[in-house]
Structure 1
Amino acid sequence: MAAESSPSSSPSVASAIDFLSLCHRLKTTKREGWVRRQVENPESIADHMYRMGLMALISADIPDINRDKCVKMAIVHDIAEAIVGDITPSDGIPKHEKNRREREALEHMCKLLGGGPRAKEIADLWMEYEENSTPEAKIVKDFDKVEMILQALEYENEQGKDLEEFFQSTAGKFQTELGKAWASEIASRRRK
């Protein structure tokens, strides 16, 4: 059993609750792509991150991949959206501006958390994901796309919508064998 964190390495109770209260927005902010396509009861940002975390958790062991790190990365990769919202390509905001806004939001959230090792871990995981700089980041980037097309398939089946654009936006963009395999399985189920 792991030892409980010492007070000096943990955020204060107040800063932890402040941070978690801000993260509540992730549970209530709907994913913008689904809203724009008039999907009924669209998933929230937190819904999306949660299933990505499950993807990392259930994925088979892959040599040289830290699965626990992937789970953590999946649950923080969109955390800045608690402040900036779900910015999509159709918003017309240049990528560098989106990155600037998200980085600023992340810095604010880490300060709210009181800095320290937990805030640094969140910031480091987020940056690693954004920079696509490690094998873990690459697989989590693939989980991001896989989760979106799986959700699109579910909305097509449940609501009779044509969400082809979501599948097209990911075509040829998977970086890992696992991502490619899962995307292929989703595509085959869509053709049935």
Structure 2
Amino acid sequence: MAVNPSIQCAPQLGRSLSPRSPIAFFNRVSSRPAFLNEAPSSRIVLVRSQMPSSDGLGHTRSVVESDSHVESLGASALSAIDFLTLCHRLKTTKRKGWINHGIKGPESIADHMYRMALMALIAGDLPGVNRERCIKIAIVHDIAEAIVGDITPADGVPKQEKSRREQAALNEMCEVLGGGMRAVEIKELWAEYENNASLEANLVKDFDKVEMILQALEYELEHGKVLDEFFLSTAGKFQTEIGKSWAAEIISRRNSRLASKLH
């Protein structure tokens, strides 16, 4: 990969740069071994702004970069990739409810969460509802299933025990991530959904059910099955007007299909 020629190491300082200007940063990891008794060293790196000046070039400024900072970035990258590798299981673990009903090649947990996030993205604005937070909750709400798998009512696991297992799995995943602000945020988002503790959680709970019955309708069309169980289990349980409206549209389409089959 070619290195941007506007970013270079130099022994001299560059011109000053307004703190408001967009900056292109460049981090370099030293290849030499680090020793515990060695004081962190520093080097000066010239950083050129992406905003051109009158001469057509970006302004430059010097940045002092310490080895300890680079090592911190390396540790962060290690934790991030370990966490994302663990989350790969969400892409490969199939939703058990569909397996139990004989659906071949069913959706994964990640498939389910992705379409829920899209629902949050396209939903109309609601008073007092933070749509961005809804997207985050949708992405996180089933994340513990990377470890515990998809536990369904058919498994006979009490709700309290299911929650305990998922909480323990979530804690383990956040340890893999290395803790910090992002781990705290993931825990907060998960708990908010689990406890149905906000308007955002109410809406995402509805999206969880809406996504399930939409998928059920699609599998009925694709496989010629009747999946009444999924529609009956969600009937009357929608909390928001958007959830009720979208569910009604899905059920209307299903009823029209079933009526046409009878004729």
Correspondence for 1:65 among 106, 110, 129: 129
Picking from 185, 195, 209, the partner of 1:131 is 195
Once the two structures are TM-superposed, the CA of residue 171 in structure 1 deviates from its matched residue by 0.4
Distance 1:98 1:9, change over 3 A: farther
Please state if 1:89 is matched with 2:153.
Answer: yes
Contact persistence 1:9–1:116 (CA under 8 A): no
Superposed displacement of residue 40, structure 1: 1.6
Q: How far 1:63 moved relative to its partner? A: 1.2
Residues 34-49 of structure 1: matches in 2 within 5 Å?
A: 34-49=98-113
Segment drifting more, 11-20 vs 32-41: 11-20
Equivalences for 1:1-192 in 2 at 5 Å? 12-192=76-256
Cα distance in structure 2, aligned partners of 1:103 and 1:9:
28
Dislocated runs of 4+, deviation >3 Å: 1-4, 6-11
Taking structure 2 as the reference length, the TM-score comes to 0.70
Identical counterparts, % of pairs: 68
Letter of the 2:173 partner, please give it. Answer: M
Give the direction of change, closer, same or farther, for the CA distance of 1:180–1:172 in structure 2 (3 Å limit): same
Larger Rg: 2
> Which of 1 and 2 has higher RCO (CA within 8 Å, sep 6+)?
1
Task: Give the 3-state SS of the residue equivalent to 1:34 in structure 2.
Answer: helix
What is the CA-CA distance between 1:10 and the residue it aligns to?
A: 10
Superposed displacement of residue 11, structure 1: 7.2
1:2 and 1:66 map into 2 onto residues whose CA distance is: 30
Call closer, same or farther: CA 1:129–1:3 in 2, change over 3 Å.
Answer: farther
Alpha-carbon distance, 1:22 to partner: 0.4
- Amino acid corresponding to residue 237 of structure 2 in structure 1: K
* AA in 2 matched with 1:62: L
SS of residue in 2 equivalent to 1:169: helix
* 1:105–1:11 CA distance, 2 compared to 1 (3 A): farther
Alpha-carbon separation, structure 1, partners of 2:211 and 2:219: 12
Alignment gaps of 5+ in structure 2: 1-21, 26-68, 257-263
Higher strand fraction: Structure 1 or Structure 2?
Answer: 2
Q: Which amino acid aligns with 1:80?
A: A
From the superposition, tell whether residues 58 and 14 of structure 1 become closer, same or farther in structure 2 (CA, over 3 Å).
Answer: same
Q: Provide the C-alpha distance between the structure 2 equivalents of 1:133 and 1:11, rounded to a whole number of angstroms.
A: 34
Q: Please tell me whether the aligned partners of residues 142 and 179 of structure 1 are also in contact (alpha carbons under 8 angstroms).
A: yes
Deviations 1:50-71 (A, max 9, x none): 0000000000111110000000
Give the drift of 1:97.
0.7
> Amino acid of the residue matched to residue 88 of structure 1?
T
